[in-house]
Amino acid sequence: MIKFRAWDKEEKEWLSIRTIGFDDDGSLVKWELLQSTGLKDKHGVEIFEGDVLEIPVAIDTETLNGEVVFEDGIFGVKDVLDGWGFDIGLVPLIEIILAKKVIIVGNIYEHPHLLEGDNG
C-alpha cells in the first residue's frame, strides 16, 4: 500500500488523510502531499518525502543533513555534499540507507533551519 501524509500550507500543520480532494485543474492548492519512501531510519521510523535526514560521514564522525525528495523516478537526497564542494546531484536513498545508519531529525516544513549552512 502506498502511504501519504499531508502538510497544510495555510494552517502550517500536519493533516490526517482520509480522502483527497483536487481543484478543477487537478492541483492540491492547500496541501503538500508527501509520499512514503517505504524505507525506515535506524530507529524504525518511516521516511517520507520532505523529511530531513542526518547522515553519518566516515570522516571525523561528522554528519550531514539532507532533504528526502522524489525526482527522476526515485527517492533520494539531493545535493547532500554541496557544503563540502561536491556537486553530485541526487543520491538514491536506498544507497544511503544501506550504507549508513541515518535518522530523521525533522522535516522541511517545521525545521527548515536544519538545511541551512553548515549543518553537521
pLDDT band at residue 70, thresholds of 50, 70 and 90? very high
Q: pTM higher than 0.75, yes or no? A: yes
pLDDT per residue over 7-34, tens digit each? Answer: 988 889 998 777 666 667 766 567 788 9
Nine-digit cell string for 59? 570522516
**What average pLDDT does the chain have?**
82
- Percent of all residues in the chain with a pLDDT value above 70, rounded to a whole number: 78
Q: Which domains does the chain have, with CATH numbers?
A: 36-115 (2.30.30.290)
Rounded CA gap, 76 and 80, in Å?
A: 10
For the segment 70-84, the average pLDDT, to the nearest whole number, is 79
First-to-last alpha carbon distance for the chain, in angstroms, is: 34
